Chain A
Amino acid sequence: MTPSKSNPLSWLASLRLTVTLLALSMYLIFVGTLAQVENGIWWVVEHYFREGTYGIVWVDFDVFRSLVYPGSAGNVSIFGIESHPFPSGFVIIALLLVNLLAAHAVRYKMTGKGAALGAGFGLVFVGSAITAYTVLEPKTSAAIQQDVMLMMLIWTVPMTLIGIGCYFIFGSRKAGIVLIHGGIILMLVGEYITGIGADEGQMWIHEKGSSSKIIDIREVEIAFVTPTGDRTQEHIIIPQELIEAADEDDTLIENQTLPLTVRIDAWMENSDLLPSINGADPTQVQYRAEEVPAVTGTEQRADRPSVMATLFRGGERIGQHLLTTWEFVKPVEVEVDGKVWAVSLRFRETHLPYTIQLVDFRHDQFTGTTTPMNYSSTLRLEAPNSAESRDAFIKMNQPLRYDGKAFFQSGFFQQPLNRNLGTIMQVADNPGAWVPYLSCVIVTVGLCMHFVISLMRYGRRANARA
Chain B
Amino acid sequence: MTDLEYAPMTKRLTILLLAPLLMLGCGEEPAIERYEVTLPVAFDWPETQLREAAVEVDGFSWTWEVPAGWVDAPEVPDQLIADYRFPGATDYTLPGRMTVSKIDGDAGGIEANVMRWLQQLYVTTARSLGPKDKISQPMSMGVGDATFVELYGQYQGEHNPTRISAAIVQIPAEGGGVFQTWFFKLAGDEATIEQNRMGMAQMILTFRPAGTPRPVLPGLDEVEAPQEGEAPQGGNEVEADETTESTDEL
A238 neighbours in B (Cβ, 8 Å): 32
Indicate if B242 sits at the interface (CB-CB under 8 A): no
CB within 8 Å of A: which B120-157 residues: 120-125, 127-128, 130-132, 152-157
- Given the known interface contacts A94-B17, A94-B18, A420-B95, the answer about A209 and B43 at a Cβ–Cβ threshold of 8 Å is yes
B39: which of A105, A209, A233 is its contact (CB, 8 Å)? A233
Chain B, interface size category, equals 35 or more
B3: which of A7, A210, A357 is its contact (CB, 8 Å)? A7
Q: Give chain B nearest CB distance to A371 CB in angstroms.
A: 17
A282 neighbours in B (Cβ, 8 Å): 122, 125, 127-128, 130, 154
**Are B30 and A242 within 8 A (Cβ)?**
yes
The total of Cβ contacts below 8 Å across the A-B interface reads 200
Most chain A beta-carbon neighbours within 10 Å: one of B17, B42, B131, B187: B17
Indicate if B21 sits at the interface (CB-CB under 8 A): yes
**Are B1 and A109 within 8 A (Cβ)?**
yes
CB within 8 Å of B: which A322-348 residues: 327-330
Indicate if B50 sits at the interface (CB-CB under 8 A): no
A239: which of B17, B31, B40, B43 is its contact (CB, 8 Å)? B31
| Interface SS, A side | mixed
Indicate if A196 sits at the interface (CB-CB under 8 A): yes
Indicate if A115 sits at the interface (CB-CB under 8 A): no
Q: Give chain A nearest CB distance to B118 CB in angstroms.
A: 9
**Are A328 and B41 within 8 A (Cβ)?**
no
**Are B40 and A355 within 8 A (Cβ)?**
yes
B41 neighbours in A (Cβ, 8 Å): 210, 355, 357, 382, 384
**In the docked arrangement, what's the CA distance between A327 and B187, Å?**
19
**Are A417 and B40 within 8 A (Cβ)?**
no
CB within 8 Å of A: which B57-93 residues: 74, 85, 87
B127 neighbours in A (Cβ, 8 Å): 277, 282
**In the docked arrangement, what's the CA distance between A55 and B21, Å?**
7
**Are B120 and A417 within 8 A (Cβ)?**
yes
Indicate if B234 sits at the interface (CB-CB under 8 A): no
Q: Give chain A nearest CB distance to B147 CB in angstroms.
A: 20
Indicate if B25 sits at the interface (CB-CB under 8 A): yes
Indicate if A154 sits at the interface (CB-CB under 8 A): no
Q: Give chain A nearest CB distance to B238 CB in angstroms.
A: 17
**Are A210 and B43 within 8 A (Cβ)?**
yes
Q: Give chain A nearest CB distance to B221 CB in angstroms.
A: 29
CB within 8 Å of B: which A294-314 residues: none
A228 neighbours in B (Cβ, 8 Å): 36
Indicate if A291 sits at the interface (CB-CB under 8 A): no
CB within 8 Å of B: which A244-260 residues: 253, 255, 257-258
Indicate if B4 sits at the interface (CB-CB under 8 A): yes
**Are A417 and B161 within 8 A (Cβ)?**
yes
**Are B36 and A232 within 8 A (Cβ)?**
yes
Q: Give chain B nearest CB distance to A85 CB in angstroms.
A: 15
**Are A416 and B17 within 8 A (Cβ)?**
no
Mark interface residues in B10-21 (1 if CB within 8 Å of A CB, else 0): 100110011011
Most chain B beta-carbon neighbours within 10 Å: one of A53, A94, A204, A258: A94
**Are B30 and A239 within 8 A (Cβ)?**
yes
A8 neighbours in B (Cβ, 8 Å): 7
- Given the known interface contacts A204-B159, A327-B157, A416-B156, the answer about A212 and B40 at a Cβ–Cβ threshold of 8 Å is yes
Q: Give chain A nearest CB distance to B165 CB in angstroms.
A: 12
Q: Give chain A nearest CB distance to B198 CB in angstroms.
A: 19
A283 neighbours in B (Cβ, 8 Å): 130, 132, 152-155, 162
Q: Give chain A nearest CB distance to B127 CB in angstroms.
A: 4
B96 neighbours in A (Cβ, 8 Å): 418
Indicate if A275 sits at the interface (CB-CB under 8 A): yes
CB within 8 Å of A: which B24-41 residues: 24-25, 30-41
B36 neighbours in A (Cβ, 8 Å): 228, 232-235
Instruction: Enumerate 27 A-B pairs (CB-CB under 8 Å) in ascending A order.
Output: A4-B3, A9-B7, A55-B25, A98-B13, A98-B17, A102-B10, A105-B3, A109-B1, A110-B1, A192-B20, A207-B95, A208-B87, A210-B43, A236-B33, A241-B30, A242-B31, A282-B154, A327-B158, A328-B154, A330-B155, A351-B35, A384-B38, A415-B94, A415-B161, A417-B156, A418-B187, A422-B159
Q: Which B residues have a C-beta under 8 Å from some C-beta of A?
A: 1, 3-4, 6-7, 9-10, 13-14, 17-18, 20-21, 23-25, 30-43, 45, 74, 85, 87, 94-97, 99, 120-125, 127-128, 130-132, 152-162, 164, 187-188
Q: A101-B13, A209-B43, A285-B155 are in contact. List 18 more A-B contacts (CB 8 A).
A: A3-B3, A9-B7, A91-B21, A98-B13, A102-B10, A207-B85, A207-B95, A210-B43, A211-B40, A233-B37, A237-B32, A239-B31, A239-B32, A258-B32, A281-B131, A327-B156, A417-B187, A420-B95
